A and B are shown apart, each in its own frame.
Chain A
Amino acid sequence: MGSLRGAFAGSLLIGICDTFGKAYFQTVALFLIYLTMIVVLLIRPQGLFGIKYSNVAAAPAITTRVGAVTSSTRVAELAALLALVLLPFAVGDYPRALVSEIFIYGIFAMSLDLIFGFTGLMSLGHAAFFGLGAYAVAVLGAQFGLNAWLGVIAGVGLAASGAALIGVFCVRTSGIPFLMLTLALSQLVYTVALKWRDVTGGSDGIAVAERPSFFGLDLSRSLPMYFMALIFFVLTYWGLRRLLNAPLGQAFIGLRENEQRMAAIGYRTRAYKLLSFTIAGALAGLAGGLYAIFNGFISSDAVYWTASGDVLIMTMLGGAGTLIGPAFGAAIFLLMKNVVSSHSEHWMAIIGGVFVCCVMFFPAGLWGTARGILQRAPK
């Protein structure tokens, strides 16, 4: 980065890898490209020819602590929960399914928020863990006839171990190199999903063999599906809030605020970053597993890096560093995707425009901005 000669040599290197790869090992060509990138990033995070620059911390704009639980927030939460419980009885199948999807992507976005918004590490590879969770459900079901709930548990475990493994490499860096490493490593996961067709179905995808029941309720109907998603969403939200107000979560926030100082007062900073990355990966795996059950289908598109970009947009749209914000971001993103795409095929352009405006005018995200106004109002 930051050097013309480097950009040229880099493209040459990738070109060589690509040609040789294609010639000799058809299926692993993509691997080689990403492996080169990973090796370079690990050995010289500044790039092959780059000048070493100080780490550009991807510090999110929002910095207030997760609200201590006061009675007024309790009331607001209970009201919101009540509304969400009553909502499905007022609407038909389609909105129920849409909101269920929002819950699942809300879990996904909140999990990214843990590593990005609260630990201060911007990841562009989070979809890999979502994918691991989803594939665990689909593949284990198809190959071994495993019950989908066991698949979800396996998926969470798989995503957590995947995140721990990928994290070991990534947490050695921060800022831009961290971002690129997560991108490259997650693209390795994508390559596996794409090329291992016998198992994953590649870009054609794989169907979830059988929808499980949820405490005896049939998940092929929209109402039980809605409540299943709602329960997991609320549990994740509650769990993350406990975490962030507990000593461990405070340590994550400390890392975001000032990593050098955290080391100076005795924290093994890499271990804490790895822990945050692993927890976030496990929750993304949970979201992925639930999505496989919800959608009944998973293809390699779900682990492509643009999927990581989507969830990053959701998180920033709602407000990184606020807990519920990313869930709102997921809601806005999916609502726009569904509503706008029924009117215009250029829905991505419109979402992109909205995102640009939000980042320019509400750098704290929509929820972050709204909360800022709410907090200032009574004083």
Chain B
Amino acid sequence: MNVLRVDRLCKSFGSLNVTDQVSLAIGEGERHVIIGPNGAGKTSLINQISGQIQPDSGLILLQDRDITGCSPDRISRMGVARTFQRNNLFQNLSVMDNLRLALQIRHGTPLNFFLPAAGSAALSERAASLLAKVHLPIEDTRLARQLSYGEQRQLELALALASEPALLLLDEPTSGMSPSETAQIIALISALPRALAILMIEHDMEVVFSIADRITVLYFGKVLATGTPQEIQTNDRVREVYLGLSR
């Protein structure tokens, strides 16, 4: 069974077809990377899968359930988590409060209006293990906005992992990072449990080839090629329009 199947998805803004008959499938535990030049419609595709944008036509199936056009919160509860290209945290809340918000929807009592949120030992334990997973200090009392940029990216990843998703969407997890920070986040992603399927947008070719099981190349909203890293590397059209342009 595919974790995710996208079938002939279309979306246009005015006369611009950002997504044009895109189909792709992601198997269990697969690491799938989307590449393509700027404006190829990579983020728009992720936004449609996670519900931020409604597609015009086509199907999106999550574990054979139709999620096309569902709201972002519904899709999140069904098991799709995502990070954003630009950090999208609760900037004025502490690291712990950020994680509690993400954790309590699944493991807590979000409608509890009386007992202190900080009082739940079970949530604190889960938060601590998430922090350890993304290599952030466990006793972190800082506010999210006081973290360095790289640390904010790590927290962004922790928020996405909090819902224990079946599919993780990563929108340029290494954007804006220094080489050493990039190496660290790639190590983090590689160390995630193999059962977790990941769909990721990435520009850095070294990162792409170190992580990807399969690669999809988008070009002006269309799928140009899909295949293993070797197939993509040797694909003439890809070399022509994409790799050729960037080298």
Contact = CB atoms under 8 A, between A and B. Distances in A.
Contacts of A267: 73, 105, 110
A378 interface: no
B101 interface: yes
B88 A246 contact: no
Contacts of A254: 90, 93, 101
Contact of B89 (A251, A258, A263, A266): A258
A263 B90 contact: no
A44 interface: no
A245 interface: yes
A173 interface: no
A366 B112 CA distance: 31
B97 A265 contact: no
A248 interface: yes
Contacts of A251: 101, 104, 110
Interface stretch (B12-20, B113-121, B131-139, B214-222): B113-121
B100 interface: yes
B71 interface: yes
Contacts of B81: 264-265
B111 A247 contact: yes
A243 B110 CA distance: 11
B194 interface: no
A68 B52 CA distance: 35
A248 B117 CA distance: 8
A264 B76 contact: yes
B72 interface: yes
Contacts of A64: 92
Taking each of B50, B76, B89, B106, which has the highest tally of chain A beta carbons within 10 Å of its own beta carbon?
B76
A70 to B, nearest CB: 12
B4 interface: no
Nearest to B116: A245
B101 A265 contact: yes
Given A257-B93, A261-B88, 10 more contacts: A65-B93, A247-B109, A247-B115, A248-B111, A248-B113, A250-B100, A251-B104, A263-B73, A264-B73, A266-B106
